[in-house]
């Protein structure tokens, strides 16, 4: 009776070792191709940053919402945008208008990224609206995740 059990256990071990030898790999991120190094000179990169900074200067905080800063969080496989808001100004708006402005801003930011990264889905994009208070520093005023805006 021990013979079939030993043979079965040996077969399972051999199958496991073969799987390890072949190298079972996790599916790569759909954003992996965008994380590859790009051929751009340091000067071109700095000039691009200067151009972006100049464009942002053209858009003052008229609406109470600044243009977003974008980044990629590889651990969560998400594009993250952060925008500063003037909480006092937004709270002074009629009910629902501030929420609509924040959601419109988030959807616009997501659409801007989607233009360049067509694989982007709602679950791959998050936007945080940050504001500053006097003593505690920056805190999250609202966040946009999975296509939904949540006020804090």
- The verdict on residue 113 lying in a domain is yes
Residue 51 lies in a domain: no
Residue 146 within a domain: yes
Q: Which domain holds residue 142?
A: 61-152
The answer to whether the beta carbons of residues 70 and 80 sit under 8 Å apart is yes
The answer to whether residue 67 is domain-embedded is: yes
Residue 127 DSSP SS3: strand
Please give the DSSP secondary-structure letter assigned to residue 93.
Answer: S
Nearest by Cα to 68 from 133, 119, 113, 35:
113
Whether 15 is in a domain gets the answer no
Per-residue model confidence as pLDDT tens for the chain (152 residues)? 555 554 455 555 555 555 555 555 567 788 888 888 888 888 888 888 888 887 777 776 667 898 898 999 989 899 999 999 998 888 898 878 999 999 999 999 999 999 999 999 999 999 999 998 767 788 899 999 999 999 98
Query: In total, how many domains does the chain have?
Result: 1
Domain membership flag for residue 149: yes
Task: Give 100-109's long-range contacts (Cβ < 8 A, gap of 24+).
Answer: 101/63, 101/64, 101/65, 102/65, 102/129, 102/142, 102/144, 102/149, 102/151, 103/144, 103/149, 105/63, 105/65, 105/68, 105/129, 106/81, 106/144, 106/149, 109/68, 109/70, 109/81, 109/83
Any domain includes 126: yes
Place of tokens 């709602």: 122
pTM: 0.73
Report if residue 34 sits inside a domain: no
């Amino acid at each position: 009776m021990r013979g079939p059990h030993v043979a079965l256990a040996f077969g399972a071990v051999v199958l496991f070792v073969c799987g390890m030898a072949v190298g079972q790999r996790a599916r790569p991120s759909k954003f992996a191709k965008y994380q590859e190094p790009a051929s751009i000179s340091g000067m071109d990169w700095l000039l691009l940053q200067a151009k972006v900074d100049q464009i942002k200067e053209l858009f003052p905080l008229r609406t109470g919402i600044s243009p977003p800063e974008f980044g990629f969080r590889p651990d969560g496989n998400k594009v993250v945008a952060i925008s500063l808001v003037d909480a006092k100004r937004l709270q002074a708006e009629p009910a629902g208008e501030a929420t609509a402005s924040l959601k419109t801003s988030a959807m616009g930011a997501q659409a801007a990224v989607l233009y360049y990264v067509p694989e982007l889905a709602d679950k791959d994009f998050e936007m945080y609206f940050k504001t500053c208070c006097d003593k505690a520093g920056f805190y999250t005023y609202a966040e946009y995740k999975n296509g939904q805006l949540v006020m804090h």
